[in-house]
Amino acid sequence: MANLPLEDEVVFRAPSRETCFESRLVLEAVGIPSDMRPQAGSWVLVVPSQYVPAAFAELHAYQQDHPAETTRPASKVQTYSGAIAGIVLYAATILSVALLANLSAYGWDWNSIGVMRAGEVTSGEWWRTITALTLHADSRHLASNLLFGGLFGLMAGRIFGGGVAWLCITLGGALGNAMNAFAQSADHASIGASTAVFAALGMMVAHALRPRSFERGNRMKRWSPLIAGVLLLSFIGVGDERTDVLAHVTGFIAGLGIGWGASRLPARWLSNEFVQTGCGVAAIGLVIVAWFCAANFS
């Protein structure tokens, strides 16, 4: 540390030692001697009086070049209630359907009438895009979607509220299945909640991408949530030959679109228990209506 004369002056003040130390490194890089001192609950950076103009100039230039790191205030993501209730109902739904399908309850062949078969969907059997979300090939398939669906559903529920989140996740999964159906051959079939799981991931990415007036930074930081989402999709969305990768991709894309809209809902709506409950009931209602149609029209 350089020896400083007594007539040193304060050129920078920060609430934390780390922030002050960063500015000290800036000055040391250009040969300006400096020292850090605690003062009145904060930290100050002092330099000899003859270096004050140069120090101010260097610190100002640094702040101009690094606005995101030096001027952006800490942000808090608004969270809402109902996330736990949402994942409990999600788990109860797919576990109940798994049990009913295994027992061939009501004399139905649940897999046959509920599978997402592209030809039937493009011919108008829209309910298959929803019923397929509740069916699974085996216990491993079910456990995987319980795990990731619960995780992503919990996070989406905190961001959007449990009811709004699961209505959007259900719609995103259905839209993803519909997109997949139109992109595949007529005999293509798929089942599983994973399309909705990746819709939930897409919703969270869309929420992270929404513009914020206080944010400034380079393009890499601006688009980093999308990059992270795509990497996560490629990491957990590609499996063995049975994995319907396109369904995962279309679910993610559908979630991005629906999440874009949900991210712009007024906070007073998302914090309203009536709105959240109504959306939760609507999500459950969609599943019930879809299975009613499957039982009567498939």
Q: Which among 251, 249, 269, 248 is positioned nearest to 259, based on CA atoms?
A: 251
Q: Phi first, then psi: what are they for 38, rounded to 5°? A: -75, 140
Give SS3 for 200. helix
Amino acid at 216: R
Encode pLDDT of 9-60 as tens digits: 888 888 888 888 888 888 888 888 988 888 877 888 888 888 888 888 888 8
Is the model's pLDDT at 214 over the cut of 70? no
Residue 3 pLDDT > 80: no
pLDDT (mean) for 111-115: 97
pLDDT exceeds 70 at position 152: yes
Calpha distance 298→120 (Å, rounded): 9
Which is more confidently placed, 229 or 292?
292
- pLDDT at position 137 over 80: yes
Choose the weakest-confidence range: 146-155, 231-240, 281-290. Answer: 231-240
In tens, the pLDDT along 60-90 reads: 888 877 654 444 444 567 889 999 999 999 9
Q: What are phi and psi of 182, to 5 degrees?
A: -75, -20
How confident is the model at residue 223, as a pLDDT?
73
Q: Decide if 140 contacts 148 (C-beta within 8 A).
A: no
Q: Distance (Å, rounded) from C-alpha 12 to C-alpha 25?
A: 12
Cα 44 from Cα 105, distance rounded (Å): 73
In sequence order, the 6+-apart residues with CB closer than 8 A to the CB of 27 are: 33, 34, 45, 47, 55, 58, 59
What are the counts of helices (DSSP H) followed by strands (DSSP E) for the chain? 15, 5
Q: Where are the alpha helices (DSSP H) in 210-272?
A: 219-222, 224-236, 245-262, 267-270
Structural domains in the chain? 8-71 (3.30.70.1530), 83-297 (1.20.1540.10)
pLDDT exceeds 80 at position 258: yes
Report how far residue 243's alpha carbon sits from residue 43's, in angstroms, rounded to the nearest whole number: 56
